[in-house]
Homo-oligomer: A and B are copies of this chain.
Amino acid sequence: MSPTARLMDGTALARQIVEQAAERAAALTERTGQAPCLATVLVGEDPASETYVRMKRNRCEKAGIRSRHVALPAATTTGELVDTLTALSQDPEVHGILLQHPVGPHIDERAAFEAIAPEKDVDGVTYHSFATMSFGAEGFASCTPGGILRLLDHYGVEPAGKHAVVVGRSAILGKPVGMLLLGRNATVTYCHSRTTDLAAHTRQADILIAAVGRPRLLTADHIKPGAVVIDAGYNPGNIGDVDFDSAATRASLITPVPGGVGPMTIATLLTQTVDAAARQLKGA
C-alpha cells in the first residue's frame, strides 16, 4: 500500500505561531519597557538536557523573549532547587519558569515543580496547571499537549464527538492531552503498558495520540482507516512511537517525526511565556 495520509506540518505551523508570539513580545516590550523573560533552570550537565535548554533559549532570543539561565550543579539538593525556584517565582523580572527535566534521581522533582508559581508555570508542570487543563479553567497547558491541540485545530480536526485514544499516561503528556481532548468533548480512552489488547483499542480511535516513548510501537494494524494520528513519542535517533511508513497507509492525517509535534511544543512554550508576561505586566 502507498501512503495516503496528509502530513501535519508542525514546523510550518510552529513558525507562524512563533512569529505571532514575537510580534506580541515586541509590542509588550515597547509598551512596558520590559521584555518577556523566561528563566531556565538546569540541574547537572546532561548533554541532551543542555542541548534542549540551549535550543529553547535560542528560540526565545529570536522571538524577542529574554532568557535567564540558572545552571545548578548535579549535587544540588531538593531544598536548594526549591529555594531557587521560589526566588524566581517571586522575582518580578521573571515571567515564566522552565525546569528542565530530568533533575536527577536524588531530587524530589514534584516538590521542585510545586515551587513554581502557577502564574509563571509556562511549561505546564504544576498540579495547578494539570487541574486547570482538566477542568477547562484559565491556566497554562503542558507544552506538548497544548501544541497538539493547536495542530489539530489548524488542520480542522474537531474533537467533539470523536473517539480519541491516548497511548501513554505520563504527567506532562498522556494524562493532560487526554484531559484537554475531554474538555473539547471527545470521548477519551487512556491506554498504557498494562492495557490488554492495545490494538483493539487503538483501532477504534478517530484521533490517536501516541505518547508512550516506545519506538514504532504503533503500526498500520493499530490504526482505523482515516484516523488522525499524532506521534508525540520521542525516542533516541528521532524515532517516533508510530511506524510512520506503515501508519501513513491508513491514516488521513499524520504528524512526521521530526517536524510534527516537536516544534509545536517549543512554539507553545514561547506563546505561553508571552501570555504570562502580558498578564504580569498588565498594570505596567
Contact = CB atoms under 8 A, between A and B. Distances in A.
A136 to B, nearest CB: 10
Contacts of A11: none
Most chain B beta carbons < 10 A, residue from A130, A131, A163, A201: A131
A195 B160 CA distance: 8
A191 interface: yes
A52 interface: no
A187 B190 contact: yes
Copies of the chain in the assembly:
2
Nearest to A132: B127
A188 B128 CA distance: 23
Interface residues of A, number: 30
B201 A192 contact: no
A201 B204 CA distance: 10
Interface string A160-178: 1111000001010001001
Interface string A58-88: 0000000000000000000000000000000
Contact of A135 (B163, B171, B179): B171
23 contacts: A110-B135, A127-B127, A127-B130, A127-B132, A128-B128, A130-B130, A130-B131, A130-B134, A130-B135, A134-B175, A135-B171, A135-B175, A161-B194, A161-B196, A163-B201, A175-B179, A178-B190, A182-B192, A185-B192, A187-B190, A187-B192, A187-B194, A189-B190
Given A178-B190, A187-B194, 20 more contacts: A110-B135, A127-B127, A127-B128, A127-B131, A127-B132, A127-B135, A128-B131, A130-B130, A130-B131, A131-B131, A134-B175, A135-B171, A135-B175, A175-B179, A175-B182, A182-B192, A187-B189, A187-B195, A187-B201, A188-B189
Interface of A: 110, 127-128, 130-132, 134-135, 137, 160-163, 169, 171, 175, 178-179, 182, 185, 187-192, 194-196, 201
7 nearest A-B pairs in the assembled complex, by CB-CB distance: A127-B131, A185-B194, A189-B189, A187-B195, A161-B196, A188-B190, A130-B131
